[in-house]
Structure 1
Amino acid sequence: MQRPGGTASFIGREAELAALTRQAIGGAGGLTLLTGEAGSGKTRLLSELGDRAAAAGARVLRGRAVPGGGAFRPLAEALVRAAPPALAADRRLAPFRSVLAWVLPSWPAGTAPSTHLVDPALVLGEAVLELLDVVRDGGRCLVLLDDLHWADEDTLAVLQYVAPSLPGSGVRVVGAARSDERRPDGLTRLLDGREAAHVAVPPMGRAELAGLARMCAGGELAPELETYLVDAAGGLPLLLEELVAHLLGSGAPGDGPGGRPAVRDLAGTVPPGFAEIVQHRTARLTDKHREVIVVAALLGQDVRWELLPAATGAGRSLVAAAIRAGADGGLLALDPAGTPRWRHALTRDAVLARLSAPERADLAATVADRLAGAGTAEHEPALLADLHARAGRPHRAAALLRRQAADHVRAGALAAGIDVLERAVVLAAGDPALAVAVRVDHVRALALTARVGDALAGGDQELRRATGTGRSDLAAALADACLAAERFDDAERYLHEIADPAGPRALGLAAQLALGRGDPGAAAGLADRAAAAARRAGRPDLLCTALEIAGRARRRSDPRRAGEALRAALRTAEQHGLVPQRIRALSELGVEELFEAGDGAALREAEALAVEAGMLGTALGLELQQTALAAGTEGMVGAAARARRCADRAARLRLDGVRGHALMWVARGRVLADHPDEAGPILDEALRYSVSPVHIHATRHHLAGLDAWLDGDTERAVTGLGRAVGVLRGAPGANATPIWGEWALLTTIADPADGRARAELRRSDVGVQVINRAALRLADAVAAHHDADAAGAARLLAQGRDLLVRSPFHRALFDSFLCTADGLVDPIATLNAALAWLAGTGEVRMVRRCRVLLRRAGGAVPRPARDNGPVPVHLRARGVTGREFEVLGLVAEGLDNPGIARRLHLSRRTVETHVSRLLAKTGEPGRGSLPHWLAPRPD
């Protein structure tokens, strides 16, 4: 390895360095893992690689893990220098600001989510990818992460998430880890996976070690001394360098070359191992300096110099002098900024190894008391907990670990939080109240990661011992975990363990249980009681939950009361600053918007809040709800493009339910875009991910029916839609989908005398969906027309169309249905209106079907290219073409026919024809009244 005064070659590691350099500077991005024994030179390889990459113009970020360093430590250290708080203003990072605040303390913090629909490590992975893209600014970026054998599982999960996205990104992440340490599970997965390149650093060969020894000594060594050093190093360049440095600094005389010691002079001067070298160096310090260095080792792998005055009881000047002595003695190193660090991770271990177990316990107790007296516990719970545990004070350690775990969970580091709580569970044994409190936190954290089985296993064990309030708290936490996992029988069992069954918490959980079991009536009653109890108890959080359940339970049976409950939940959340509850209330109000074809304001507000809070899973679900709303305003093809983006993001975030639901919309779009053969495989894929297959099965039949209608086969269309309704009929808790209305309308058109479909729709609570109500009015209009009730038919037709004003896609679809009902509507005007809206939407099948029907009705069918011109909808509805619209504009300017002919390079006769057609299509008596058709009108 290169040393000051040595040659330019990187002795013994040329091949490894060349491979790393090719990947970091010449490659297209990716993840590389560098492994080798402690002392094999991994850290120096990373350092040299970083220097070379920086010289080549790459942005280099460096971080490292340390034992007990907390969640995301290496990532935070790497990113913090490259991401000052001002970078949070970058618009590309807007969805990730709150998430990045988890690891970048100086960034503006958002609201910590109370629930995690997505593994937070995956959310942070998305954020890190976006941040690195911003940081590299179109260039290359190299992220160096050392000592990953000490990394927390959350950091390793982030690396596992980002790895597949790194190739082609311009970002290379290189992580180093010891091969002779027990690997964390996450590191094993990375090494065993396909995404990471692996560079192993083997023990150094004898020839390379001999060359390194000569370079470190600055000249030739006696052959027997050289052989001794090579043998003693055991293939580790670090140990060889330390041996040479120890010999040269020992002052041992010798008659070897250049006055170097010969082997016969080494007795008593060359310890056989690294630990003895460190102990020898420690012994050479003064007593006061040595005490500071030993306490520094006790405080962790980082040299916490700012804590040393309080931890040692020494003055700042003495601490500074001790750090300088440690650096001069080869125990510490100072970086260019003067910050001290251990010369090697093994150095700190060796310093602590000189203490006996009783000595370490006594010193830990003393240091913990000093730091606690200085007010450090508030900011350093993990450090104080470690010291108390070493000092034999388990309960004090457990209480501090509980605080540390809460910080981890709030930051989204669930694996780290669970790991800390599992240590706290062991330490809290013997203190019943603390043991239950720790177990409650443990159950909740496990539930957030869907490890409900593990939560129940530990929770049941503690529940048998628990008494009083703690027992009810634990039972409620267990019931809540079971409800989230839809383990309803287990949830009911734990509900019986809650001491106050009439309290707001127990009633709220009972309401959730009833709703989960498909009994909305019972759920609504329990939710009302829970809300009243929450008001009496002054618990706005539980009140929001109860009101939300009441709203969901009454959504189909009593939409008015449902809306009132949800709006009350929203007001309560806003008044008390309960952001997660506010998001949930807005989300549920968004469902009301879906049913009424609203403008989506509640959904957009909820999504913005979720993004701000870093709740990307919630935000994605809200985006998909807006996709469903867009289907009515943009068409199925446009909505499918949105849904594809949702499905791709859901796949990366491993949100299977959202992914399955999004794919259902994608399949619908493929049928309408004239690719019906693709819908089946997409629905098969959706079925693998959907948590509720009812809608997938219904959609399969629905699309079969819609495909038949678009091909002109009404009988087969009615059959397909009927089968879709049959699936939904067997699932009374399913969404109030417009499939019901489509089926009832087309069935009535096929046989106006058969009123069964209309009767079922009239009785059903799916009328909460405005499109279904509109379809019922239109179906009644068909029946009235069949019964020769012209006035009734006209009235019902107008009512149905008015209900569809905010869903133009369904208006166009239903109008195409109605054009096959003999004599009910003017097919030419109706189809022209439908084509006017469909222009440019990508609804290929709908356009083609309307054109076929228009031709069949004897109307003039515009050439397809003209359907894409900038003609206002109200004029397209009259059949006005793009060229005719140009002529209309020039008429409005006051030009006569010859002037228009000159402006458009047309013949005068052609212009006369266009003006005549405009008069016929608009019904105007003369050209003087044509200009008013240019005034904007509602669609």
Structure 2
Amino acid sequence: MHTTAPITIGRATELGLFKSVLTDLQEGAGHAVLLVGEAGIGKSRLAGECVGQAESLGLPVLRGRGSPTSAGMPYRPLIEALNSRFRVTGVPEEPELEPYRPALGRIIPEWRHTAVPGYPESAVELAEAVLRLLAVLGRDRGCLLVLEDLHEADSETIAVVDYLVDNLAGLPVLLAATLRPEPGAALELARGAERRRVASLATLKPLGTSQVGALAAGCLGLRAEQVPAAVVERLSTLSNGNPYLVEELLAEMVGSGALRRDGGGWQVTGDLAAAVPVSVVSGLRQRLAQLDPQVRDLLLLAATLGTGFSIGTLELITGHGVRLLLDQLAAAADSGFVVPDPTAVDQYAFRHALTAEALLAGLAPAERAVIARRAAEAVLAADPAVSDDRCQLVARLRLLGGDEAGAALLYAEAGRRALAGGASATAVRLLERARALAAPADRTAVTESLVHATAEAGQLDQALALAESLPDAGADALSIERRVALHTRLAWAAVISERAADTLAQVAAARAQLGDPSDPRHTAALAVIEAHLALLPGHGAETAGTERLAREAAEVAEREKLPVVACQAWQLLALLARERGFDDADTCLERMLAVAEEHSLPVWRVEALLRLGANAFLRSGDARRIREARDAARDLGALALVQHAEGLLAMDAVQRADFPAAQEIIDRCLEPSARMRNLGGHRYLLLVAATLAAHQGRRRQMERELLRFDKADESTSFLMPVLLGLCRAFCALLEENRAQALDELAAAADWEDRHPNVFYLSGRYGLGPLLAVVGGAADRTAYTAALAAPAAALAWNRQFLVLADAVLLGREGRGGEATARVDRAQQEFRGFPTGRHLGLRLVAEAALADGWGEPVAWLRTAEEYFHQAGVRSVAGACRSLIRQAGVPVAQRRTGRELIPEGLRSVGVTPREFDVFALLVERLGNQDVAQRLSISPRTVEKHIASLLHKTGSANRAELCRLARSLCAD
């Protein structure tokens, strides 16, 4: 007789699903399949079938599982899964994984040296790194990731799996996970994924009577019709269709002699009702009693350790050698109790979770407690410090042994270690369990740790409620030092969450505990929080007072060796100093960088580098320091900071008119930033995408990107001035729609007046003043005021201010100086070709009117640039101004390559195509004429010719054709 059926019974639908998704995987269509069912229903069997199908197709397979003893060990199932693969093949060496190695170092031992000490990467960063790794592994044929018993997994693993499930579409990866229908995070994940239609949820049902008969036949080596009907009926009734129970009950019938082999078949030879145990527990106990006593004792000990256990732990507790333990485990495996764990060479697991539970249930409470206590004492004797992987094991053993207080202390220690390692969700889970078990004398300390963990996990309301539950007085009360630290931590969490009222309450509570004189270490931390509070909407303060507060805090923090507080203060000071100019801001950031490097604070170091790089780029147009910051963030594994830096580099590429480079960054980073819910980075990249279209004069594409931005952003975003000035206004100017550009710039200035900020690319201090001067709406007084603003130091703004000065000099009769200013701008701002040539077009207009400089040469330069760039409106305006100067303009016969083949074949000319392309926007003849700097009568003639050549019945049909051929 087989202990399990050689084939899977009653799961044709699920097997067909796996076959289908594995086939789709060959086309790069990733998917997730979540198997939900009670213990023993066959989830692991199905997962094994999926593994077999994948291996037959030559797919890489990674397999891990959750367990009760690993629920507090962050990412344990993922570690097992990756190691199950890389233990055999070695880690992949693909260069594209280089940026993700620091994050993956947490779960891949070979890459742990790339992780940077002191940087607790987020679950989202690790999840994105795992996604990239799986995509690389599956690049050729696809790959399979199997995670069993997800209901037993730690919170961080659940977060990673949730991320993977949401983002597998389009990647050659199949995720198969199993879980019980127990309330918890895993079940919520499964149901949410099904609602979002990003996974297939298969709920396994009990087997029917005929399927139970087929399962029994497989175990007995018979055809289904050969199994005695009484056996099938009894198995079906007692098992309720649970395959594991069917196999266990059948084994008990055979073991008791009630069902015996008779020639080529099996016969009922006894009373099945009497032979079958009242419960599986007693049946397992009977089978256990038939084993060698040493094997039996080993199995009972293993059951106290959980559903899975290692040979090393058994060796530690029993004192037996590995050879003896392997022999005993082999005997236990032959009896159907345990199986080697395929995910780790020294691991074993009970054949089913119910097996371990049933063995423990069959022990008398006193006997179970004795085994657990002895095991705990043996581990503590060998490992007094209780290493991380054993801390929860000993806690569980102490709990089984009846020592709740001792278990609480170990669960609390495991929670504190998890918090220190950045696994805040796991820390909360462990500390909550510790608090429930803790003795009254220990509960305050455990609650204190739980407050810190919940605050770190973003559960501020829960953290505040827990803090309120702490005793104010008596022997159990926290010391003043610890209470002040607790309130300060909560105040920082509240100010970061922009919860001003809670921030004020916690600051007040902390200050109420301080003595006189106050400890400077506490007052510095509180001062930084109060300074940040002053920046929140509705709680503003006079800038000088806020800056003084932050500077005093920085000085005290450095003196008292509080580097994190010092970095917080210098960062805030740099932001405030921008109102005076970038020199002061950079001084603060350089100090922040020095503190971070001196005290080995890698995250704060990258933050300082990034801000210094952004300032350097804004001032000079040089992006080298941004690249340095990006590389530092990449080395750190801080993917969100990498995306922030990439967004700045993409905007730099737009301003330098390196449009392919900008597009490459957007294509590479936009989707990952959305997956990671890096909202700030994602929004900025969307704005860059819109600005990229705007600087090419592609309004329809710009509007599409801005619609995406609106959906991802709030109306009060600090990016709004950039959106209006650098994006919308610039696009309007490339359409020769100066009135709209001025309206957009006015809207940006109005927004800035109502929302003071320190982001200076809105056009208010560069492009706007130039337009105002060219249009005669601003004089030198207005120009001087703009030049005095800190934003005038920005390279992008400065190019337009230099040209505005040239226009004013020309009107003042100082033509030579004006021309020199234009020449200077041409040389100094070569890095901004689109802005520079647009400036030439505007300055030449004023120079023609005022009679100075070389306007025709400037216009020809600008016309050539915009013609080559395909910006027809500006190129046409330049040609029109040249004609107004009385200089002939050579007809351009180039540009035919821009005309679609179907239009070229019917003889559409380049000038007719210029008109045709503008019909995409359904413009009238007057508007088209203004855009192309030709007369409405000429437009009318071109329209008539286009109607004839294309065979369009009317203008509306011609517009539809234009949209189909020319829309971006």
TM-score past 0.5 threshold: yes
Amino acid at match of 2:386: A
Pick from 68, 74, 79 the counterpart of residue 77 of structure 2: 74
- Residue 438 of structure 1 aligns with which residue? 449
Q: Per-residue deviation at 1:251?
A: 5.1
Indicate the residue corresponding to 2:818 in structure 1. 793
Cα 1:406/1:526, change in 2 over 3 Å: same
Partners of 1:48 and 1:773 in 2: CA distance: 67
- Measure how far apart 1:620 and its partner are: 0.9
Counterpart secondary structure, 1:107: helix
| Correspondences of 1:694-713 after superposition (within 5 Å) | 694-696=718-720, 699-700=723-724, 703=727, 705-713=729-737
Task: Report if aligned partners of 2:528, 2:553 keep a CA contact under 8 Å in 1.
Answer: yes
Instruction: Measure, in 2, the Cα distance between the counterparts of 1:4 and 1:828.
Output: 94
Partners of 2:741 and 2:239 lie apart in 1 by 81
Query: Which amino acid in the other structure matches residue 19 of structure 1?
Result: L
**1:260, CA displacement in angstroms?**
5.1
TM-score when scaled to structure 1? 0.83
The answer to whether the Cα contact below 8 Å between 2:844 and 2:854 also exists between their aligned partners in 1 is yes
Distance 1:861 1:538, change over 3 A: farther
Indicate the SS of the match to 2:797: helix
Equivalent in 262, 268, 271 of residue 268 of structure 2: 262
Tell me the residue number matched to 1:922. Answer: none
Distance 1:108 1:247 in 2: 52
CA distance in 1, matches of 2:4, 2:411: 48
Supply the AA of the counterpart residue of 2:162. Answer: Q
Q: Give, as a single letter, the amino acid of the residue that structure 1 aligns with 2:597.
A: E
Q: Return the alpha-carbon distance in structure 2 between the equivalents of residues 546 and 384 of structure 1.
A: 43
Matched AA of 1:771: W
Q: Which residue of 1 aligns with 2:349?
A: 341
| Aligned equivalents of 1:344, 1:866: Cα separation in 2 | 73
Distance 1:756 1:646, change over 3 A: farther
Partners of 2:259 and 2:269 within 8 A in 1: no
Aligned to 1:488: 500
- The alpha carbon displacement at 1:839 in A equals 7.6
* Alignment length (residue pairs): 862
Q: How does 1:278-289 map to 2 (within 5 A)?
A: 278-289=284-295
Among 253, 269, 292, the alignment partner of 1:247 is 253
Query: Residues 280 and 758 of structure 1: is their aligned pair in 2 closer, same or farther, counting only changes over 3 Å?
Result: same
Alpha carbons of structure 1 residues 195 and 460: separation in structure 2 relative to 1, 3 Å: same
1:827 aligns with 2:855: yes
Quote how far apart the aligned CAs of 1:50 are: 1.8
CA distance in 2, matches of 1:559, 1:790: 33
Query: Which residue number corresponds to residue 531 of structure 2?
Result: 511
Tell whether the 8 Å contact from 1:738 to 1:772 is kept in structure 2 after alignment: no
Query: Does the 8 A contact of 1:35 with 1:200 survive in 2?
Result: yes
* Structure 2 CA distance for aligned equivalents of residues 382 and 5 of structure 1: 33
Tell me which residue corresponds to 1:185.
188
Alignment-mate amino acid for residue 481 of structure 1: A
The equivalent residue for 1:102 is 106
Q: Which amino acid is the alignment partner of residue 229 of structure 1? A: L
**Paired residues of 1:590 and 1:602 also in contact (CA < 8 A):** yes
8 Å CA contact 1:296, 1:305 repeated in 2:
no
Q: Which residue is 2:242 aligned to?
A: 236
Match of 1:387 among 397, 405, 426: 397
Aligned pairs for 1:271-310 (under 5 A) are 271-310=277-316
Correspondences of 1:737-752 after superposition (within 5 Å): 737-740=761-764, 741-751=766-776
In structure 1, which of residues 185, 205, 225 is the aligned counterpart of residue 208 of structure 2? 205
* Aligned alpha-carbon RMSD (Å): 3.6
- Cα distance between partner residues in 2 of 1:824 and 1:165: 60
Say whether 1:418 aligns with 2:390: no
Contact 2:64/2:148 (CA < 8 Å) preserved in 1?
yes
Identify which range, 622-631 or 252-261, moves more after superposition. Answer: 252-261
2:466 maps to a residue whose letter is G
Structure 1 residue 149 corresponds to structure 2 residue 160? no
Q: Matches of residues 334-733 of structure 1 in structure 2 within 5 Å?
A: 334=340, 339-375=347-383, 377-379=386-388, 380-391=390-401, 393=403, 396-405=406-415, 408=418, 413-427=423-437, 430-431=441-442, 434-435=445-446, 437-447=448-458, 451-462=459-470, 466-496=478-508, 497-498=510-511, 499=514, 500=518, 502-503=520-521, 504-516=524-536, 520-634=543-657, 639=662, 642-643=665-666, 645-680=668-703, 682-690=705-713, 692-696=716-720, 699-700=723-724, 703=727, 705-733=729-757
Structure 1 residue matching 2:675: 3-state secondary structure? helix
Contact 1:121-1:158 within 8 A present in 2 as well: yes
CA distance in 1, matches of 2:873, 2:39: 66
Answer yes or no: is the 8 Å Cα contact 1:695–1:734 preserved in 2. Answer: no
Paired residues of 2:551 and 2:569 also in contact (CA < 8 A): yes
**How many Å apart are 1:745 and its aligned residue?**
1.0
SS at 2:201's partner residue? strand
The answer to whether the 8 A contact 2:586-2:612 is kept is yes
Deviation at 1:753, TM superposition (A): 5.8
* Contact persistence 2:697–2:735 (CA under 8 A): no
- Residues in 1 aligned to 2:381 and 2:636: alpha-carbon distance in whole angstroms: 36
Look up the SS of the partner of 1:82 in the other structure: helix
* Cα distance in 1 for residues equivalent to 2:245 and 2:340: 20
Between the aligned partners of 2:782 and 2:667, the Cα distance in structure 1 is: 34
Q: 2:256–2:275: 8 Å Cα contact kept in structure 1?
A: yes
AA aligned opposite 1:608: D
| Cα displacement string for residues 311-338 of structure 1 (whole angstroms, at most 9, x for unaligned residues) | 2455555544442342233321246868
Unaligned runs of 5+ in 2: 899-968
1:19, 1:94 → 2: CA distance?
35
Matched-pair contact (CA < 8 Å) for 1:32–1:198: yes
Q: CA–CA distance in 1 between the matches of 2:211 and 2:243?
A: 9
1:418 Cα deviation (Å)? 3.0
Contact 1:777/1:797 (8 A) holds in 2: yes
Deviates more, 1:807-816 or 1:80-89: 80-89
Shift of 1:264: 3.2
d(CA) in 2 for partners of 1:547, 1:146: 48
Look up the SS of the partner of 2:112 in the other structure: coil
- 1:746-768 deviation digits (Å, cap 9, x = unpaired): 10111166345424413433224
Residue 735 of structure 1 and its aligned partner are, at CA, apart by 0.7
Distance in 2, Cα, partners of 1:398 & 1:276: 32
User: 3-state SS of the aligned residue for 1:577?
Assistant: coil
Residue aligning to 1:874: none
- Deviation per CA, 1:429-464: give whole Å up to 9, x if none: 6336623541343144223xxx33333333343485
How far does residue 637 in structure 1 lie from its aligned partner after superposition?
8.3
Structure 1 residue 94: deviation in Å?
1.3
Letter in 1 for 2:736: G
Q: Greater shift after overlay, 588-597 or 769-778? A: 769-778
Q: What is aligned with 1:931? A: none
Q: Which letter maps to 1:817?
A: L
Structure 1's unaligned 5+ residue stretches are 870-939
Following TM superposition, by how much is the alpha carbon of 1:478 offset from its aligned partner in structure 2, in angstroms? 0.6
Distance 1:786 1:566 in 2: 42
Q: Which residue in the other structure is 1:923 paired with?
A: none
Q: Aligned partners of 2:540 and 2:870: how far apart in 1? A: 39
Task: Tell me: CA distance 1:394–1:467, structure 2 relative to 1, closer, same or farther (3 Å).
Answer: farther
Q: Output the CA distance in 2 between the equivalents of 1:515 and 1:739.
A: 24
Q: Could you tell me how far apart the structure 2 residues matched to 1:10 and 1:602 are? A: 60
**Equivalent residue for 1:194, pick from 166, 173, 197:** 197
Correspondence list, 1:78-93, <5 A: 78-83=81-86, 87=91, 89-93=93-97
CA distance in 1, matches of 2:699, 2:397: 66
Mapped partners of 1:640, 1:25: distance in 2: 33
Number of the residue aligned with 2:230? 224
Q: 2:607 & 2:744 partners in 1: Cα distance?
A: 36
Range with greater deviation from structure 2 (168-177 or 681-690): 681-690
Q: Is the 8 A contact 1:637 1:673 kept in 2?
A: no
